[in-house]
Homo-oligomer: A and B are copies of this chain.
């Protein structure tokens, strides 16, 4: 059997170099989360269909990867489906939709938010609230694969649930700032508040259809204001309403100009006032922080997901033109769908793949070029190897990563191995060295070669790493 090798479209293999970079990326994010007292959790890759379906809108539901029931799944299909399909093959799309639940009862998670809500409800008795958790795991979406969009990708979520305090929003902003400082990246954090959007919709007479209002607004970046206006019109919003809104949400003026405009237009909306007050309080708290990044109120920021009810947050790279690299917001009733209403939470999700791409484009990984192995002992044969092994052990005991080349092949080939794996130091112990109890140590970058007595080796090597 001679197979062609491939992986499913939209998925990726990660070799040693990207893995080291990804590990650095995740470790950096994780260490900041931990510094702020967030605790790790993990949930299964598979959730029940019941948990996932209906949480991401109709479009989202279609992108959920369903798992075929094990064993004799076909016995679960009702005969009328076959009959229907045989009679009306053109209806197979509709039939597939209904049939799926008869042959599948679980699916791969689509994000970390819904599994987190399910986790909180299921473990409510064991959890001490406020519950500060982070979760770094892959998610799967049957999106059309395209540049920078994958069917398997990691999310790095950090949330606090069970506290209404705006200090949580402020803390998340600090965490974002700290993460990107560590990455050496320049960013702007954009802030808005769903209640402000609701207020704006309300005062302009679009309030009865907040979803259409925000869904269109959310596309602003992609389609531009003219098309957003068009979409609003098509949803029945009047030109007067639209003309009232546009100058307010436009990105002109400073943060306080924007707050001033809002104070004026929202004076007759209770919800709007509440949102404005939240945004003002949040701005006041973070004004006490020594942030490196800039924070910008962006009243066009909508974020598509309907579960947000308060602050919404999005991060843009200033180094590289790209979609948002981190985002989130407050949700007042995420656990409500699982029967635990009235628990407020707020969280953000770091887009690992996009941050990776930004770091790659800004040479943010330059410090991470070697494979991890620090020393290669060349192999001159069994007797020399027997001498190398305890020396390698001593180095490992000192925390130095080393290898003995496993085969006593040509030295040139062994040196190539060191070179290609970017191993910085090569140790040669041939017959002469063995007899003299000395190692010949070669520093690959300079080409310098020195003899070091076996008894001094760990000490001498330890000094250079």
Residues in A lying within 8 Å of B, measured CB to CB: 1-8, 11-16, 19-20, 22-23, 34-37, 39-48, 50-51, 54, 62-63, 65-68, 70-75, 77, 79, 82-83, 85-86, 89, 92-93, 95-96, 99-100, 103-106, 108, 118-119, 121-123, 126-128, 130, 132-133, 138, 140, 142, 151-152, 160, 163-165, 167-168, 171, 174, 178, 285, 288-290, 337-339, 371-373, 376, 379, 385-386, 389-390, 393, 396, 399-407, 416-417, 420-421
Contacts and interface: CB of A to CB of B under 8 A. Distances in A.
19 contacts: A3-B339, A8-B48, A11-B46, A13-B122, A14-B41, A15-B41, A16-B39, A19-B42, A37-B401, A37-B403, A63-B70, A67-B67, A73-B96, A74-B95, A128-B416, A167-B404, A167-B407, A168-B406, A285-B386
Decide if the interface of chain A is mainly helix, strand, loop or mixed: mixed
B67 A40 contact: no
Contacts of A371: 37, 39
A403 B36 contact: yes
A177 to B, nearest CB: 11
A29 to B, nearest CB: 14
Contact of A93 (B72, B290, B393): B72
B67 A71 contact: no
A464 to B, nearest CB: 17
Q: Which interface residue of A4, A8, A50 has the most chain B CB atoms within 10 A? A: A8
Contacts of A66: 67-68
A35 B400 CA distance: 6
Nearest to A150: B44
B406 A167 contact: yes
Contacts of A338: 2-3, 5
Contacts of A118: 5, 7
Contacts of A385: 167
Contacts of A140: 45-46
B72 A65 contact: no
Contact of A68 (B2, B37, B67, B123): B67
Contacts of A421: 39, 128
B396 A35 contact: yes
Given A5-B122, A39-B372, A45-B108, 9 more contacts: A13-B44, A13-B122, A19-B42, A34-B401, A37-B372, A45-B45, A67-B67, A70-B142, A72-B93
